[in-house]
Chain A
Amino acid sequence: MQILAWIEQTALSVFVRQDDYAYFWLLIAHALGMALLVGGGIAISLRGLGVASSARLERFAGFIPYMWLGAALAIVSGLGLLIGYPAKALTNPIFALKFICLIGAALLIQRIVRGQRPPKQMRMMAGASLALWLAGVACGKLLLHTYTILMITE
Protein backbone atom coordinates (compact mmCIF):
# COMPACT_ATOMS: atom_id res chain seq x y z
CA MET A 1 0.00 0.00 0.00
CA GLN A 2 2.92 2.35 0.74
CA ILE A 3 4.25 1.97 -2.75
CA LEU A 4 0.79 2.82 -4.19
CA ALA A 5 0.72 5.96 -2.06
CA TRP A 6 4.20 6.84 -3.31
CA ILE A 7 3.14 6.37 -6.96
CA GLU A 8 0.14 8.63 -6.40
CA GLN A 9 2.46 11.43 -5.31
CA THR A 10 4.88 11.21 -8.25
CA ALA A 11 4.83 14.09 -10.70
CA LEU A 12 3.62 11.81 -13.52
CA SER A 13 0.68 10.53 -11.48
CA VAL A 14 -0.35 14.05 -10.48
CA PHE A 15 -0.04 15.13 -14.13
CA VAL A 16 -2.31 12.30 -15.36
CA ARG A 17 -4.97 13.31 -12.81
CA GLN A 18 -4.76 17.08 -13.05
CA ASP A 19 -3.95 17.88 -16.68
CA ASP A 20 -7.05 18.86 -18.66
CA TYR A 21 -6.24 16.53 -21.55
CA ALA A 22 -3.84 13.80 -20.37
CA TYR A 23 -6.48 11.47 -18.93
CA PHE A 24 -8.69 11.68 -21.99
CA TRP A 25 -5.84 11.10 -24.42
CA LEU A 26 -4.99 8.00 -22.42
CA LEU A 27 -8.62 6.85 -22.47
CA ILE A 28 -8.82 7.41 -26.25
CA ALA A 29 -5.60 5.47 -26.89
CA HIS A 30 -6.78 2.69 -24.59
CA ALA A 31 -10.15 2.39 -26.35
CA LEU A 32 -8.56 2.36 -29.83
CA GLY A 33 -5.84 -0.09 -28.79
CA MET A 34 -8.33 -2.45 -27.16
CA ALA A 35 -10.72 -2.24 -30.14
CA LEU A 36 -7.83 -3.13 -32.48
CA LEU A 37 -6.55 -5.98 -30.30
CA VAL A 38 -9.88 -7.46 -29.20
CA GLY A 39 -11.59 -6.76 -32.54
CA GLY A 40 -8.88 -8.69 -34.37
CA GLY A 41 -9.03 -11.44 -31.77
CA ILE A 42 -12.81 -11.78 -32.06
CA ALA A 43 -12.62 -11.88 -35.88
CA ILE A 44 -9.93 -14.61 -35.84
CA SER A 45 -11.97 -16.54 -33.26
CA LEU A 46 -14.99 -16.36 -35.57
CA ARG A 47 -12.85 -17.70 -38.41
CA GLY A 48 -11.72 -20.53 -36.12
CA LEU A 49 -15.38 -21.30 -35.43
CA GLY A 50 -15.92 -21.76 -39.16
CA VAL A 51 -17.07 -18.32 -40.38
CA ALA A 52 -15.50 -17.26 -43.71
CA SER A 53 -13.97 -20.73 -44.02
CA SER A 54 -12.92 -20.06 -47.65
CA ALA A 55 -10.27 -17.67 -46.28
CA ARG A 56 -7.25 -19.73 -45.22
CA LEU A 57 -6.75 -19.51 -41.47
CA GLU A 58 -2.94 -19.26 -41.59
CA ARG A 59 -3.28 -16.14 -43.76
CA PHE A 60 -4.91 -14.31 -40.84
CA ALA A 61 -1.40 -14.16 -39.39
CA GLY A 62 -1.08 -11.03 -41.60
CA PHE A 63 -3.38 -9.22 -39.17
CA ILE A 64 -1.35 -10.15 -36.07
CA PRO A 65 1.05 -7.15 -36.39
CA TYR A 66 -1.98 -4.81 -36.29
CA MET A 67 -3.19 -6.59 -33.17
CA TRP A 68 0.27 -6.09 -31.66
CA LEU A 69 0.00 -2.40 -32.51
CA GLY A 70 -3.33 -2.35 -30.65
CA ALA A 71 -1.80 -4.23 -27.73
CA ALA A 72 1.12 -1.76 -27.56
CA LEU A 73 -1.29 1.21 -27.57
CA ALA A 74 -3.45 -0.41 -24.90
CA ILE A 75 -0.48 -1.35 -22.68
CA VAL A 76 1.25 2.05 -22.86
CA SER A 77 -1.99 3.99 -22.28
CA GLY A 78 -3.07 1.46 -19.64
CA LEU A 79 0.20 2.05 -17.75
CA GLY A 80 -0.52 5.78 -17.88
CA LEU A 81 -4.01 5.26 -16.46
CA LEU A 82 -2.57 2.91 -13.84
CA ILE A 83 0.02 5.49 -12.74
CA GLY A 84 -2.79 8.06 -12.37
CA TYR A 85 -4.88 5.86 -10.06
CA PRO A 86 -2.70 2.88 -8.99
CA ALA A 87 -4.78 1.90 -5.94
CA LYS A 88 -8.03 1.98 -7.92
CA ALA A 89 -6.89 -0.88 -10.18
CA LEU A 90 -4.45 -2.80 -8.00
CA THR A 91 -6.91 -3.24 -5.11
CA ASN A 92 -9.58 -4.63 -7.48
CA PRO A 93 -9.45 -8.40 -8.19
CA ILE A 94 -11.30 -7.78 -11.49
CA PHE A 95 -8.12 -6.06 -12.73
CA ALA A 96 -6.22 -9.35 -12.34
CA LEU A 97 -9.09 -11.28 -13.93
CA LYS A 98 -8.95 -8.93 -16.95
CA PHE A 99 -5.32 -9.87 -17.59
CA ILE A 100 -5.92 -13.59 -17.09
CA CYS A 101 -8.68 -13.41 -19.74
CA LEU A 102 -6.74 -11.27 -22.24
CA ILE A 103 -3.45 -13.17 -21.96
CA GLY A 104 -5.28 -16.50 -22.26
CA ALA A 105 -7.16 -15.24 -25.32
CA ALA A 106 -3.96 -13.92 -26.95
CA LEU A 107 -2.11 -17.24 -26.39
CA LEU A 108 -5.02 -19.14 -27.95
CA ILE A 109 -5.05 -16.81 -30.98
CA GLN A 110 -1.34 -17.47 -31.57
CA ARG A 111 -2.08 -21.20 -31.72
CA ILE A 112 -5.26 -20.77 -33.79
CA VAL A 113 -3.53 -18.86 -36.62
CA ARG A 114 -1.02 -21.68 -37.00
CA GLY A 115 -3.95 -23.80 -38.23
CA GLN A 116 -3.46 -27.55 -38.73
CA ARG A 117 -5.68 -28.80 -35.92
CA PRO A 118 -8.51 -31.32 -35.99
CA PRO A 119 -11.75 -29.35 -36.65
CA LYS A 120 -13.26 -30.20 -33.28
CA GLN A 121 -10.18 -29.07 -31.37
CA MET A 122 -10.00 -25.88 -33.45
CA ARG A 123 -13.61 -25.05 -32.62
CA MET A 124 -13.00 -25.60 -28.91
CA MET A 125 -9.96 -23.29 -28.97
CA ALA A 126 -11.78 -20.65 -31.00
CA GLY A 127 -14.85 -20.79 -28.75
CA ALA A 128 -12.64 -20.43 -25.67
CA SER A 129 -10.71 -17.50 -27.13
CA LEU A 130 -13.95 -15.74 -28.14
CA ALA A 131 -15.33 -16.16 -24.61
CA LEU A 132 -12.05 -14.91 -23.09
CA TRP A 133 -11.95 -11.78 -25.32
CA LEU A 134 -15.53 -10.92 -24.35
CA ALA A 135 -14.83 -11.57 -20.66
CA GLY A 136 -11.66 -9.45 -20.84
CA VAL A 137 -13.63 -6.52 -22.28
CA ALA A 138 -16.34 -6.96 -19.65
CA CYS A 139 -13.74 -6.91 -16.85
CA GLY A 140 -12.10 -3.80 -18.32
CA LYS A 141 -15.36 -1.88 -18.53
CA LEU A 142 -16.40 -3.02 -15.06
CA LEU A 143 -13.22 -1.56 -13.51
CA LEU A 144 -14.97 1.81 -13.62
CA HIS A 145 -17.93 0.45 -11.66
CA THR A 146 -16.33 -1.95 -9.17
CA TYR A 147 -13.39 -0.19 -7.52
CA THR A 148 -13.53 0.20 -3.74
CA ILE A 149 -10.57 2.58 -3.30
CA LEU A 150 -10.02 5.45 -5.73
CA MET A 151 -6.91 6.86 -4.05
CA ILE A 152 -4.95 6.15 -0.87
CA THR A 153 -3.65 9.69 -0.44
CA GLU A 154 -5.79 12.88 -0.64
Chain B
Amino acid sequence: MMDPIFNPAAIIAWGKSVGVATLMSARWGWASVEVIHFIGICLLFGTVGMFDLRMMNAVRGISLMALHRLVPYGVLGFALCVMTGALFVIAAADQYLYNPAWQLKMLMLVIAGVNMAAFYLTTFTRLAALGEDDAPPWTARLFAAISLLSWIAAITAGRVITAYRPPGWFWCAWCQ
Protein backbone atom coordinates (compact mmCIF):
# COMPACT_ATOMS: atom_id res chain seq x y z
CA MET B 1 0.00 0.00 0.00
CA MET B 2 1.03 3.56 -0.66
CA ASP B 3 0.54 6.50 1.66
CA PRO B 4 0.02 9.60 -0.50
CA ILE B 5 0.33 11.98 2.47
CA PHE B 6 2.96 10.77 4.94
CA ASN B 7 6.29 9.05 4.47
CA PRO B 8 7.06 7.56 7.88
CA ALA B 9 10.45 6.18 6.82
CA ALA B 10 11.51 9.64 5.63
CA ILE B 11 10.23 11.26 8.87
CA ILE B 12 12.24 8.78 10.98
CA ALA B 13 15.33 9.26 8.78
CA TRP B 14 15.01 13.03 9.15
CA GLY B 15 14.71 12.57 12.93
CA LYS B 16 17.98 10.61 12.87
CA SER B 17 19.69 13.35 10.87
CA VAL B 18 18.69 16.14 13.28
CA GLY B 19 19.39 14.24 16.51
CA VAL B 20 15.82 13.40 17.60
CA ALA B 21 16.62 9.68 17.44
CA THR B 22 19.72 10.16 19.60
CA LEU B 23 17.73 12.11 22.21
CA MET B 24 14.80 9.70 22.29
CA SER B 25 16.93 6.54 22.49
CA ALA B 26 19.19 7.95 25.21
CA ARG B 27 18.85 6.20 28.62
CA TRP B 28 16.41 8.78 30.07
CA GLY B 29 15.39 10.44 26.79
CA TRP B 30 11.97 8.96 26.09
CA ALA B 31 11.09 8.94 29.81
CA SER B 32 11.96 12.64 30.25
CA VAL B 33 9.91 13.62 27.21
CA GLU B 34 6.96 11.63 28.64
CA VAL B 35 7.29 13.50 31.94
CA ILE B 36 7.23 16.89 30.19
CA HIS B 37 4.29 15.77 28.01
CA PHE B 38 2.17 14.90 31.05
CA ILE B 39 3.18 18.08 32.89
CA GLY B 40 1.99 19.98 29.80
CA ILE B 41 -1.32 18.08 29.94
CA CYS B 42 -1.74 18.99 33.64
CA LEU B 43 -1.01 22.67 32.97
CA LEU B 44 -3.52 22.75 30.11
CA PHE B 45 -6.22 20.67 31.78
CA GLY B 46 -5.87 22.45 35.12
CA THR B 47 -6.08 26.03 33.88
CA VAL B 48 -8.45 25.62 30.92
CA GLY B 49 -10.48 23.06 32.88
CA MET B 50 -10.99 25.55 35.73
CA PHE B 51 -12.08 28.20 33.24
CA ASP B 52 -14.49 25.70 31.67
CA LEU B 53 -15.93 24.65 35.05
CA ARG B 54 -16.56 28.28 36.00
CA MET B 55 -18.09 28.96 32.58
CA MET B 56 -20.38 25.92 32.99
CA ASN B 57 -21.47 27.48 36.29
CA ALA B 58 -20.26 24.34 38.10
CA VAL B 59 -18.13 26.68 40.22
CA ARG B 60 -19.09 30.22 41.29
CA GLY B 61 -17.50 33.08 43.14
CA ILE B 62 -14.71 33.90 40.69
CA SER B 63 -15.02 36.31 37.77
CA LEU B 64 -14.30 34.69 34.43
CA MET B 65 -12.00 37.49 33.34
CA ALA B 66 -9.89 37.09 36.50
CA LEU B 67 -9.71 33.34 35.99
CA HIS B 68 -8.77 33.87 32.33
CA ARG B 69 -5.37 35.15 33.46
CA LEU B 70 -4.46 31.50 34.09
CA VAL B 71 -5.20 30.47 30.49
CA PRO B 72 -1.79 31.60 29.07
CA TYR B 73 -0.26 28.91 31.30
CA GLY B 74 -2.59 26.43 29.62
CA VAL B 75 -1.26 27.64 26.27
CA LEU B 76 2.25 27.06 27.63
CA GLY B 77 1.18 23.54 28.60
CA PHE B 78 -0.25 22.93 25.14
CA ALA B 79 3.00 24.17 23.56
CA LEU B 80 4.97 21.72 25.74
CA CYS B 81 2.63 18.93 24.62
CA VAL B 82 3.00 19.79 20.92
CA MET B 83 6.80 19.92 21.13
CA THR B 84 7.16 16.70 23.12
CA GLY B 85 4.40 15.01 21.11
CA ALA B 86 6.24 15.89 17.89
CA LEU B 87 9.35 14.18 19.27
CA PHE B 88 7.40 10.94 19.82
CA VAL B 89 5.92 11.06 16.31
CA ILE B 90 9.24 11.90 14.62
CA ALA B 91 11.03 9.12 16.52
CA ALA B 92 8.45 6.41 15.70
CA ALA B 93 6.26 7.86 12.93
CA ASP B 94 4.72 4.55 11.78
CA GLN B 95 3.62 3.74 15.35
CA TYR B 96 1.60 6.97 15.58
CA LEU B 97 0.38 7.92 12.08
CA TYR B 98 -1.35 4.56 11.56
CA ASN B 99 -2.54 4.21 15.16
CA PRO B 100 -6.33 4.66 15.55
CA ALA B 101 -5.93 6.00 19.10
CA TRP B 102 -3.49 8.67 17.89
CA GLN B 103 -5.76 9.52 14.95
CA LEU B 104 -8.69 9.94 17.35
CA LYS B 105 -6.56 12.10 19.64
CA MET B 106 -5.68 14.42 16.72
CA LEU B 107 -9.39 14.63 15.83
CA MET B 108 -10.16 15.65 19.43
CA LEU B 109 -7.49 18.36 19.24
CA VAL B 110 -9.10 19.67 16.03
CA ILE B 111 -12.53 19.73 17.73
CA ALA B 112 -11.06 21.50 20.78
CA GLY B 113 -9.31 24.01 18.51
CA VAL B 114 -12.37 24.79 16.35
CA ASN B 115 -14.52 25.09 19.49
CA MET B 116 -11.99 27.47 21.06
CA ALA B 117 -11.77 29.62 17.93
CA ALA B 118 -15.57 29.84 17.70
CA PHE B 119 -15.76 30.73 21.42
CA TYR B 120 -13.27 33.58 21.17
CA LEU B 121 -14.82 34.90 17.95
CA THR B 122 -18.45 34.88 19.10
CA THR B 123 -18.81 34.79 22.89
CA PHE B 124 -15.69 35.71 24.87
CA THR B 125 -16.03 39.52 24.78
CA ARG B 126 -19.66 39.28 25.91
CA LEU B 127 -18.53 37.67 29.18
CA ALA B 128 -16.48 40.69 30.29
CA ALA B 129 -19.40 42.24 32.18
CA LEU B 130 -20.14 39.11 34.24
CA GLY B 131 -19.46 39.40 37.97
CA GLU B 132 -18.10 36.89 40.43
CA ASP B 133 -21.37 35.06 40.98
CA ASP B 134 -23.13 35.65 37.66
CA ALA B 135 -24.22 32.64 35.63
CA PRO B 136 -22.77 32.62 32.08
CA PRO B 137 -25.21 32.41 29.12
CA TRP B 138 -26.04 28.98 27.75
CA THR B 139 -23.91 29.45 24.63
CA ALA B 140 -20.84 29.94 26.86
CA ARG B 141 -21.77 26.87 28.88
CA LEU B 142 -22.03 24.83 25.70
CA PHE B 143 -18.58 25.97 24.51
CA ALA B 144 -17.17 25.09 27.95
CA ALA B 145 -18.76 21.62 27.97
CA ILE B 146 -17.43 20.84 24.48
CA SER B 147 -13.99 22.08 25.50
CA LEU B 148 -13.91 19.97 28.66
CA LEU B 149 -15.19 16.84 26.89
CA SER B 150 -12.78 17.18 23.98
CA TRP B 151 -9.76 17.48 26.32
CA ILE B 152 -10.99 14.49 28.37
CA ALA B 153 -11.36 12.52 25.13
CA ALA B 154 -7.89 13.62 23.95
CA ILE B 155 -6.27 12.43 27.22
CA THR B 156 -8.23 9.16 27.02
CA ALA B 157 -7.22 8.49 23.40
CA GLY B 158 -3.63 9.45 24.18
CA ARG B 159 -3.43 6.96 27.01
CA VAL B 160 -4.59 4.18 24.65
CA ILE B 161 -1.91 4.88 22.00
CA THR B 162 0.42 2.29 23.55
CA ALA B 163 -2.31 -0.36 23.25
CA TYR B 164 -1.80 -0.43 19.48
CA ARG B 165 1.27 -1.55 17.62
CA PRO B 166 0.21 -0.87 14.01
CA PRO B 167 1.57 -3.52 11.63
CA GLY B 168 2.43 -1.26 8.72
CA TRP B 169 -0.62 0.16 7.00
CA PHE B 170 -3.50 -1.45 8.80
CA TRP B 171 -5.13 1.69 10.22
CA CYS B 172 -4.57 3.94 7.21
CA ALA B 173 -7.89 5.05 5.73
CA TRP B 174 -6.21 7.48 3.31
CA CYS B 175 -3.74 4.98 1.84
CA GLN B 176 -4.21 3.38 -1.60
Contacts and interface: CB of A to CB of B under 8 A. Distances in A.
A27 B152 CA distance: 13
Interface string B21-46: 00000001011001100110111111
Interface residues of A, number: 36
A88 interface: no
A145 interface: yes
A52 B67 contact: yes
B46 A31 contact: no
Interface stretch (B88-96, B138-146, B153-161, B166-174): B153-161
Interface stretch (B1-9, B58-66, B106-114, B122-130): B58-66
A137 B35 contact: yes
Q: Is the interface of B mostly helix, strand, loop or mixed?
A: helix
14 contacts: A28-B160, A31-B38, A31-B41, A32-B152, A35-B38, A42-B47, A52-B67, A56-B132, A63-B50, A137-B38, A138-B35, A141-B38, A145-B28, A145-B31
Given A42-B46, A137-B35, 16 more contacts: A24-B163, A27-B159, A31-B155, A32-B156, A35-B42, A39-B43, A40-B46, A42-B42, A42-B43, A55-B67, A59-B62, A60-B62, A66-B53, A133-B42, A137-B38, A140-B38
Interface of A: 24, 27-28, 31-32, 34-36, 38-43, 46-47, 51-56, 59-60, 62-63, 66, 133-134, 137-138, 140-142, 144-145
